[in-house]
Amino acid sequence: MRSGLGIVATTALLAGCASTGTTPPPATPAAVVAVPYNAVGLERVIGHDAAALVKLFGQPDADVREGTARKLQFQSRICVLDAYLYPRGGEEPRVTYIDAREPDGSSIDRASCVAALTRRDGAR
């Protein structure tokens, strides 16, 4: 008796799941949310020129120039920091954006990387 009742209950549940002939509305794509660029802890870098970065971190491990833009890269055993400098008007190029990662490419907080680099050999 129980197995017969189980079959009836299962059939009733499956019947409720059967198509009603209407198609569900298409899924709406998820909105792309811009992640704000938080400059907290980056005051010693953002807006400064190359000389200030050298004074803070020591000599860069890489210095790449492309047109009027410049990228300075500083490395330690903890992280790699890329500082992008661009001129505005007739002024000397200044840092407008930085990117940070661990040596293996993993994500790391930019402010933590700045703090770590100030403690590396060659930094002030």
Q: 37 to each of 14, 46, 96, 98, how far by Cα in Å? A: 50, 12, 11, 10
pLDDT tens string 74-112: 999 999 999 999 999 889 999 999 999 999 999 999 999
72 compared with 2, residue with greater pLDDT: 72
CA-based nearest residue to 105, from 89, 82, 124:
82
Q: Domains in the chain and their CATH numbers?
A: 33-124 (3.30.1450)
pLDDT at position 44 is: 93
pLDDT at position 50 is: 97
pLDDT tens string 17-65: 555 556 666 666 665 544 455 666 799 999 999 999 999 999 999 999 9
13 compared with 113, residue with greater pLDDT: 113
pLDDT at position 41 is: 76
Q: Report the alpha-carbon distance of residue 116 to residue 110 in Å, rounded.
A: 10
pLDDT at position 90 is: 87
pLDDT at position 35 is: 47
